[in-house]
Chain A
Amino acid sequence: MSVKKIFPLIVTLFLGASCMHSIHQVHVSDFDPYGSFESGKIVKAKTEQFVIMGFVTESNYVDKAYRDLQAKCKDGRIQGITTQYITSLGFFSWTNKILMQGLCLS
């Protein structure tokens, strides 16, 4: 087979076999009681769960993100929280990720 014919297939293979991701949802919480951006700071928490062929028996990474976010704003309240649920696809495995961000007002 000539290089000209095989080259597009190789390029496609490299592109397709690279890491691809899927954002399932982005949820935004309410902002009440209201606080301005200047009076707070953005806090983030990100956790992951590596899954091989779908064999996983718990989803504690979600609760861990929840606890981590609260730990970053111990004496304040967090408003305008965005919650993103993402999966990074892989070879017979994938990584589930939760990203929570909000404005910490103390």
Chain B
Amino acid sequence: MNSCLKFFNLLIVLVAVNSCAVLHKTQVGDLNDDPKFALRPFELKVSETGVDFEEAGKVAKALSRSKTAQKDIDGVMGIIQLFQQGPRTGVPVFSESYAQNIVNDLYKECPSGRVTGLVSIREMRKYPVISGEIVKIKGYCMLPRDSAQKSNSESNGSPKTKSKSNSKKETI
């Protein structure tokens, strides 16, 4: 019972300490606050689940009891590391094309092409062993004042957020 409680406490601490947000890169573009246009904010978010095999190996080693199993885990992790050489930002993911359609999504948000105040953010939500590798684009769609007032009265003017997850695990 005591060991169960200890393990549970350790798990809570691990999750609490490890689930954090990491900002990798951010870029800010021009902002055009023309009085003839109303700025409707939007946010596009695409993400993919990353798997940290090194951390997975450490957790597996900590949980395994036999030294043979720990040696095997070390061997497998060593081989995996040989196959994951290269510069990396955040944790590697299995798909490279999760941010490919962001241009199309931008124009779906704002078909007129009047986009301003763009901020592009590359960030990571870190959890034990897995992480969410996120690409977020925030900006404003410039709407002519008359049509902006009409759309505000219809939809209460709340900012639109679209997020796409290419993996079910991202919902953690």
**Direct chain A–B contact by Cβ atoms under 8 Å:** yes
Whole-angstrom distance between the alpha carbons of A30 and B118 in the complex? 7
- Which B residues, 84 to 113, have Cβ-Cβ distances below 8 Å to chain A? 84-96, 98-100, 102-104, 106-107, 111-113
Tell me if B82 counts as interface (CB < 8 A to partner A): yes
B interface footprint on A59-77 (CB within 8 Å = 1, 0 otherwise): 0000000000000000000
Partner of A84, one of B84, B99, B111: B99
Partner of B56, one of A12, A22, A88, A99: A12
CB of A81 to closest CB in B, whole Å = 8
Category for how many chain B residues contact A: 35 or more
The count of A-to-B residue pairs whose CB atoms sit within 8 angstroms is 157
B112 near A34 (CB under 8 angstroms)? Answer: yes
Residues in chain B within 8 A of chain A (CB atoms): 24-25, 27, 29-30, 32, 51, 53, 56, 68-69, 72-73, 76-77, 79-80, 82-96, 98-100, 102-104, 106-107, 111-116, 118, 120, 122, 133, 135, 137, 139, 142
Q: Whose C-beta in chain A lies nearest to the C-beta of B53?
A: A16
